[in-house]
Structure 1
Amino acid sequence: MPENSEIQNGPAARIGGAIARLLDFVAVVSSLVVAGLMVFLVIARYVLGLSVVGLHELIMLAAVALYMTGAVIASRKRDHLTVDWIAGNITDPRRKAAHDLLIATLTIIITIFFIVWAYWMFSWGLKRPQTTPAYQIPLWVPQMAIGLAAVGCFCYAVRDFIVALLKLRRS
């Protein structure tokens, strides 16, 4: 079994760190785009009296990216859909590991449904192509963000499953 320092500094940790930085970057950029375009929309409409066609489409694309990136970041940090009361009352390390394994297993099952649903939605969008009214952006673009979030959440659920399984074996 590798030592802790090898695990924390190994290639998996470096890849995980790069993915975390990329997710954080996408979240910051999409947040700035949503906020900036909303401010521009308000100023253009109510101060300048202009109606900018298609701005809502761009805001929607950035918002979908932000929401889906946020879901993956929450999964990465193990903050997504947690119930602290139950976990906080478990004191036995073996039961705690079993609880973590149960949560990870349920998350894997749910994210598999999420992946299948996102795939159906994405493939439907490719078979029956539709676009946004103003800029003709294919609807599969925001659907792709949903699919990537589904896969990302699944990968972090598998990570949590493996970690819980290792804790259970050690206790």
Structure 2
Amino acid sequence: MHSLLLFKVAVTVLGLFIAFAMVVGILFRALLGIQVFGLEELVLMAAMWLYMLGAALASRERTHLSADFFQAFSDNEALHNTMNLIATTLSLLLAVFFVRWSYSIFSWGFEKGQVTPVFSIPQYFSQASLLVASVLLLLYVLRDFVHDVSKLVGKAKAAAH
């Protein structure tokens, strides 16, 4: 429960920061003719974390987009459960790939020591958002996989009796 509250607070704060920073940047540039240096790099970092935490939150709550078109064409619950398991298995494979890829990006950024031009924020700070999100996505997909397997096995056991 605490992690859910933390996710929601972080996503809300990041979203508000991005909106406020964009308005400030536009007002300063358009009305005052003043360029606010570094604002873009702060917005970019915040946006990376916002998108990645939002994706993890959607995965946690199972509110991400899905194409469950089998349910529209069939009332067969066994088919629905099987298709859910296949989709979750594919998601699990992709999540493992995503963790490996994001770790590679993060470790490369950490090794290179690149920083942003204005505030010298290490680039791996934004790259860490990919790694954190991918690990969270993997954990949530594992949860869904266990749920889908147990649902299918439970139905098979009930049908056998």
Paired residues of 1:111 and 1:154 also in contact (CA < 8 A): yes
Which residue pairs with 1:145 in the alignment?
Answer: 129
How many positions carry a matched residue from both structures? 155
CA distance in 2 between partners of 1:125 and 1:75 (Å)? 26
Which residue pairs with 1:10 in the alignment?
Answer: none
CA distance in 1 between partners of 2:15 and 2:68 (Å)? 28
Kindly state the Cα deviation for residue 79 of structure 1 after the two structures are TM-superposed.
3.2
Q: What is the root-mean-square deviation of aligned Cα atoms in Å?
A: 1.2
Residue 56 (str. 1) matches residue 31 (str. 2):
no
Residue 46 (str. 1) matches residue 30 (str. 2):
yes
Which residue pairs with 1:98 in the alignment?
Answer: 82
TM-score normalised by the chain length of structure 2 = 0.91
Task: Decide which of 56, 59, 67 is 1:83's aligned counterpart.
Answer: 67
Deviation track 1:37-69 (CA, whole Å, cap 9, x = no partner) reads 000101111112211110101000111011101
Kindly state the Cα deviation for residue 99 of structure 1 after the two structures are TM-superposed.
1.4
SS in 2 for 1:138: coil
Residue 163 (str. 1) matches residue 159 (str. 2):
no
Kindly state the Cα deviation for residue 93 of structure 1 after the two structures are TM-superposed.
2.3
Larger CA deviation: 45-54 vs 80-89: 80-89
Kindly state the Cα deviation for residue 165 of structure 1 after the two structures are TM-superposed.
0.9
Kindly state the Cα deviation for residue 81 of structure 1 after the two structures are TM-superposed.
4.1
**Code of the aligned partner of 1:18:** H
C-alpha change, 1:148 and 1:168, in structure 2 (3 Å) is: same
* Percent of paired sites with the same residue: 34
Aligned positions of 1:7-22 closer than 5 A = 17-22=1-6
SS in 2 for 1:21: helix
Kindly state the Cα deviation for residue 70 of structure 1 after the two structures are TM-superposed.
1.4
Deviation track 1:79-125 (CA, whole Å, cap 9, x = no partner) reads 33411212333422222221111111111100111100101101101
TM-score normalised by the chain length of structure 1 = 0.86
**Code of the aligned partner of 2:35:** S
Paired residues of 1:87 and 1:99 also in contact (CA < 8 A): no
Kindly state the Cα deviation for residue 36 of structure 1 after the two structures are TM-superposed.
0.5
Aligned positions of 1:116-155 closer than 5 A = 116-155=100-139
